[in-house]
């Protein structure tokens, strides 16, 4: 064994001294036949992986990239639609507020007009009632005057008849005047 190790050492020293590629190959203990077999195995594994793993993975990655691009595009479209919907919502709310304000203003104006009309109608009604009351008072006053005149005429006639039938003295004249005043009041 010692001899084989000594031989290997001397062989590697010889090859290392020779220099170049063969010296390096012998220094690392690379054998050409094993190296060629490993290279063929590596190329076969590389070909199998390329064919059955790498290409499907690349295809899946490409499909995933397309899906992601579509998702981003859809997200941007949705964001744009959302922005447009918010703008439309703002416009609708603003229009509704303006319409509500116009309705309120119209209602206030209509209320003021109606209030003014009602006040005017009430004033006209009060004037009519006052005029009717004055007219009734005038009619009652006239009726009272007519009645008072009739009563006065009746009293005057009775007094004149009494004076003519009875003799008039000052005492009798005084008592008759008092009796007349009592009848009038």
Residue whose C-alpha is closest to residue 185's, from 146, 155, 142, 141? 155
| Token pair belonging to 113 | 């007009």
**CB–CB of 11/4 below 8 Å?**
no
Average pLDDT over residues 4-13: 52
pLDDT tens track for 139-173: 999 998 888 888 877 777 777 777 667 666 667 77
Position 80 in a domain: yes
Asked whether residue 99 is domain-assigned, the answer is yes
Residue 28 included in any domain = yes
Instruction: Express each pLDDT in 20-61 by its tens digit.
Output: 777 777 788 778 788 889 999 999 999 998 888 888 899 999
Separation in Å, CA 177 to CA 152, 180, 182: 13, 5, 9
How many separate domains does the chain show? 1
As a whole number of angstroms, the longest Cα–Cα distance in the chain is 205
pLDDT at site 31:
80
Question: Is 4 domain-assigned?
Answer: no
Range of the domain at 22: 10-184
* pLDDT, the chain, mean: 84
Residue 1 lies in a domain: no
pLDDT at 182 over 80: no
Using CA atoms, how far apart are residues 74 and 141, in angstroms rounded to an integer?
97
């Amino acid at each position: 064994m010692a001899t084989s190790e000594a031989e290997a050492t001397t062989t590697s020293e010889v090859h290392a001294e020779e220099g170049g590629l063969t010296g390096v190959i012998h220094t690392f203990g690379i054998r050409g036949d094993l190296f060629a077999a490993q290279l063929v195995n590596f190329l076969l594994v590389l070909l199998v992986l390329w064919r059955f793993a790498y290409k499907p993975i690349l295809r899946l990655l490409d499909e995933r990239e397309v899906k992601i691009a579509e998702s981003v595009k859809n997200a941007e479209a949705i964001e744009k639609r959302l922005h447009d919907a918010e703008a439309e919502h703002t416009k609708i709310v603003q229009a509704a507020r303006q319409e509500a304000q116009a309705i309120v203003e119209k209602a206030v104006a209509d209320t003021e007009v109606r209030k003014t009309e009602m006040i005017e109608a009430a004033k006209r009604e009060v004037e009519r009632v006052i005029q009717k009351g004055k007219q009734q008072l005038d009619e009652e006053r006239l009726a009272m005057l007519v009645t008072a005149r009739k009563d006065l005429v009746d009293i005057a006639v009775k007094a004149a008849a009494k004076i003519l039938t009875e003799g008039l003295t000052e005492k009798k004249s005084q008592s008759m005047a008092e009796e007349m005043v009592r009848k009038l009041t």
